[in-house]
Amino acid sequence: MKPRTFLELAYFGIKTVILRRQEPLMGSIILTDRCNLSCRHCAVGNITSVIYPYIQIKADMEKMYSDGIRILFLYGGEPFLWQVHGITLRDLVIEAKRMGFLLVNIVTNGTFRLDVPEADLIMVSLDGGRENHNYIRGDTYDTILENITDSISDNICLYMAINNINKRDIETVCQTAKSLPNVKAISFNFHTPYPGTEGLMLTREERKDCCDQIEGLIGEGYPIFNLRSAFPYIIDNSFRTPCHQCIVMENGKMWTCGRCIEIPNLCSQCGFFFAAEFSLVFSGHVSVIFDMLRTYLRYL
């Protein structure tokens, strides 16, 4: 992480905690809900299949920047399907950087070439070893690993949503992350039970077992981009929701924390580690703040 980025983020954090402010820092823009996959746990892909216009995406980025947001995520659907009049996802990343965003990240299913060296992180979904991943996401495992290996940059972070199909694959995915030179780290989430996907959810005991395992793997030196100090709150879903430091925009509309905020009772079963970690950091949990500093300085 560049010193300027670190100082700006640290200043934001100190201001937010001391003054108990609720301004957002992290923003996500949905470029399209179109997707080339049809994953078992998905509740957001191909509902409209609209590719949002470039002018709208640019306006969303400008709005976020003027609201003080400095960490930007671009995602879908599948964001690599977004292309308007020859303007590509890579062009959007370059434009966001030029606008002044400090960190610009992409979230993708990894089935397209991953050549966006300007992005700080490209989060690539890998939901287990080959068998379980392919069961959840279709026959894509080998393509994804090939795209990661062929990428021209090493800014890739694996992204695994743990559910009751792949819960035993945590170590396998960590080993895969460690074995791929272009992968910096792996980040875990638990399955969030969107309507229609409740059957994939983990019990509290299963979440605890997974967190114990991840904690052990962090101890063994695997490159894990999660904060172990936040695990007790994630296991019990006892962190404050929604997280006011995160917002999402889609086609000019804005939500605090996530679009999922509109689904009754979902926040009390949230599996998004980022939502928990940001919420805890900006509520002033000292151990989580130090954990975040240590982890982010290592992987960003």
Residues that bind ligand SF4 (CB under 6 A): 35, 37-39, 42, 44-45, 76-78, 109, 192, 241-243, 257-258, 260-261, 266-267, 270, 272, 275
Whose Cβ is closer to ligand SF4: residue 103's or residue 136's?
Answer: 136
Shortest distance, position 204 Cβ to ligand SF4, whole Å: 17
Q: Is 210 within 8 Å of 170 (Cβ atoms)?
A: yes
Shortest distance, position 105 Cβ to ligand SF4, whole Å: 15
Whose Cβ is closer to ligand SF4: residue 27's or residue 258's?
Answer: 258
Shortest distance, position 263 Cβ to ligand SF4, whole Å: 7
Whose Cβ is closer to ligand SF4: residue 128's or residue 258's?
Answer: 258
Shortest distance, position 73 Cβ to ligand SF4, whole Å: 12
Whose Cβ is closer to ligand SF4: residue 39's or residue 185's?
Answer: 39
Contacts by 47-55, CB closer than 8 A, 24 or more apart:
49/77, 50/251, 51/81, 51/82, 51/83, 51/84, 52/82, 52/250, 52/251, 53/84, 54/84, 54/85, 54/87
Shortest distance, position 237 Cβ to ligand SF4, whole Å: 9
Whose Cβ is closer to ligand SF4: residue 27's or residue 45's?
Answer: 45
